[in-house]
Amino acid sequence: MRIKLNNGSIYDPTQNLHGETHDLFIQDGIIVADPGPAARFDAVYDLTGLTVMAGGIDIHSHIAGGNVNTARLLLPEQHRNHMARRLNHAFSTAKWFSTGTGYRYARMGYTTVVEPAMLPVNALDVHLQMADIPILDTADFDYLKQVRFRNIAML
C-alpha cells in the first residue's frame, strides 16, 4: 500500500526538520523517498495545518500496579453499585481501565508508556495490566532502591 501525506508540518530532528511543510510518502508501512510525479497512491491525506512527528514516549506514567489500583478504589463512581445509581457529576461516566488507557494514549500520539515505580511484590499485577493495554509498547522500572534509616535516640 502506498500512502501520500500532503502538506504536513514535519518535526524530525534527525532530518533537521523543525516544522517545515513537506509531503511524506509511506510504502507498506515504511517512510520512503518521493516516488516521483507518475506514482499512484492508494490513499492521499491532506495534513494542512497538522503536525507530523514520531510517536511520543511517556517515561513516567503510572499506568499499572498498586498505585493505579488504589486510585481506582478511590473513585467510587467506578464501582458497580454506584454506577447503577447513575450519579450525575463530572466523573459519573468515567471509564478507567487498561484497554481505555491504550486508546487514550494513542489518540494523544504516544507509542510507548513506562510505569516508573513497579515494586517487586506488584510485578505480576503490573505485567498483567500492561499486557491488557492495546496499541502501546509498555515497559516498567523496578523500584529496588534500598532505604536506610538511622537510629535516633530519644532523650
Residue 119 lies inside a defined structural domain of this protein: yes
Expressed as residue numbers, the domain containing 71 is 57-142
Whole-prediction pTM value?
A: 0.56
Residue 32 and residue 63 share a domain = no
Residue 91 and residue 77 share a domain = yes
Helices 123-131 + 66-73 axis angle, to 10:
80
* Average pLDDT over all residues of the chain: 80
The set of cell numbers assigned to 8 is 504536513
Residue 96 and residue 79 share a domain = yes
Q: Is 4 strand, coil or helix? A: strand
Closest CA to 42 of 26, 21, 24, 22: 26
Portion of the chain with pLDDT greater than 70, in percent: 77
CA angle centred on 48, ends 103 and 37, rounded to 5°: 110
Distance (Å, whole) CA 17 – CA 10 = 6
Give tens-digit pLDDT for 53-93.
Answer: 888 889 888 888 877 777 767 766 665 555 555 555 554 45
Give tens-digit pLDDT for 17-35.
Answer: 899 999 999 999 899 999 9
Residue 62 and residue 23 share a domain = no
Q: How much is the average pLDDT of 45-60?
A: 90
Residue 21 and residue 82 share a domain = no
Residue 118 and residue 73 share a domain = yes
Residue 27 and residue 77 share a domain = no
- The whole-number pLDDT of residue 82 equals 53
85 and 135 Cβ atoms separated by less than 8 Å: no
Of residues 149 and 54, more confidently modeled: 54
